[in-house]
Amino acid sequence: MKFDDDQGKETEWWKKYYVDSNVKKFYEQHHKWHTVEQTQSEIDFVIKTLGISPTGSILDLCCGWGRHTIELAHRGYRSVGIDVSPFLLEKARVDADYNKVEVEFVEADMREIPFQAFFDACIVMYYSFGILDDEGNLATLKAIHKALGSNGRLLLDCYNLFFHLVRGDIRQLPARGWSRDGSNFILNEGDLDAINMISTSREIHIKNNSHLDFELCHRLYTYPELKKLLLETGFKVSALYGNYTGEVFEAKSEHLIIVADKLK
Ligand SMILES: C[S@@+](CC[C@H](N)C(=O)[O-])C[C@H]1O[C@@H](n2cnc3c(N)ncnc32)[C@H](O)[C@@H]1O
């Protein structure tokens, strides 16, 4: 999950994508895709599913530009957003001010959550779990466990690897293609490292004489693997869903949403 940067130094892909050169493009694309109505219905689902008391405190881990954190605050929860990206956190703070809600945004790595026995619940939305390698993902679950109070609840939204894999013809990997967005040409490549279960997507955006490279990697987990990992870190799974309308999880589901309870 590490790449060489332009100077030949090793760097984790997510730093380049979310923290450094590419984050503005990420924000432009994703901010457009996730509408306010979508965010509101996702939070309807979160509240109904977790059943946290209206005065409860909720950690939105990997909060991005804070769309869920702010919506939770709107509904009266004490919400805290944590993310590693200063650019996205600044967008989140401006948006919270604009919406006149009180939210705390903290810059931190998901493996080092600076809270202890504090939250009633933690949500990790939109495939943010799996960004790191196995060691990092384990450290993240341990950090969440530490940050939750007793009876704390966790909602983890992961890729459903079956859905993710059948989107293309697996016999043609690496899958390559191109598309056009106005005068911008986009080259795509997707691949899967089947030994380590890491999916990679690359996009090169070419416009005039310049180009932007994006690389994303995700560790794809099966549900039994995640259940085991959660148990090892002190959580017991209490429910599974396949999307934000609450449908049951099955092979064709777009998401793998796990609700788990802190055990000790
Ligand atoms: C797919 S986005 C999801 C954003 C948000 N949860 C949402 O649904 O809009 C992944 C987020 O994880 C954050 N992230 C990536 N690596 C991280 C790390 N090591 N520690 C904390 N946040 C990280 C990124 O900055 C980005 O905001």
Per the model's pLDDT, the better-predicted residue between 156 and 12 turns out to be 156
Flag whether 195 is in a domain: no
Indicate whether residue 67 lines ligand 1 (CB < 6 A): yes
Q: What is the pLDDT of residue 239?
A: 98
pLDDT band at 1 (very low <50, low <70, confident <90, very high): low
Indicate whether residue 62 lines ligand 1 (CB < 6 A): yes
Q: What is the pLDDT of residue 177?
A: 86
Indicate whether residue 109 lines ligand 1 (CB < 6 A): yes
| % of residues, the chain, pLDDT over 70 | 95
Indicate whether residue 140 lines ligand 1 (CB < 6 A): no
**Whole-number Å distance between alpha carbons of 158 and 213:** 24
Q: What is the pLDDT of residue 95?
A: 95
Q: What is the pLDDT of residue 32?
A: 78
Distances (CA, A) of 73 to 51, 175, 181, 189, 238: 16, 42, 36, 39, 25
Q: What is the pLDDT of residue 243?
A: 97
What's the pLDDT tens digit per position in 201-244? 888 888 887 787 888 899 999 999 999 999 999 999 999 999 99
Structural domain total, the chain: 1
pLDDT band at 71 (very low <50, low <70, confident <90, very high): very high
DSSP designation for 228: H
Flag whether 235 is in a domain: yes
Whether pLDDT at 27 is above 90: no
Whether pLDDT at 129 is above 80: yes
* Paired tokens of 62: 């990997």
**Whole-number Å distance between alpha carbons of 62 and 187:** 28
What's the pLDDT tens digit per position in 143-197? 999 999 999 999 999 999 988 877 777 777 888 889 888 888 888 888 889 999 9
Flag whether 77 is in a domain: yes
Whether pLDDT at 4 is above 80: no
pLDDT band at 138 (very low <50, low <70, confident <90, very high): very high
Q: What is the pLDDT of residue 91?
A: 94
Could you tell me which residues come within 8 angstroms of residue 88 by beta carbon, excluding any fewer than 6 positions away? 18, 23, 27, 63, 64, 65, 66
- Ligand 1 atom nearest the C-alpha of 126 is 8
Average pLDDT, the chain: 91
Please state the rounded mean pLDDT for residues 39-68.
96
Flag whether 200 is in a domain: no
**Containing structural domain, residue 119:** 29-159+222-262
pLDDT band at 255 (very low <50, low <70, confident <90, very high): very high
* Ligand 1 centroid to residue 131 C-alpha, Å: 8
**Whole-number Å distance between alpha carbons of 67 and 70:** 6
Flag whether 120 is in a domain: yes
* Ligand 1 centroid to residue 9 C-alpha, Å: 23
Flag whether 173 is in a domain: no
Indicate whether residue 145 lines ligand 1 (CB < 6 A): no
Flag whether 93 is in a domain: yes
| % of residues, the chain, pLDDT over 90 | 67
Flag whether 14 is in a domain: no
Query: Would you call 121 exposed, middle or buried from its count of C-beta atoms within 10 A (0-12, 13-18, 19+)?
Result: buried
Helix (H) / strand (E) containing 140 = helix 134-147
* Ligand 1 centroid to residue 176 C-alpha, Å: 26
Indicate whether residue 120 lines ligand 1 (CB < 6 A): no
* Ligand 1 centroid to residue 63 C-alpha, Å: 6
CATH for 237? 3.40.50.150
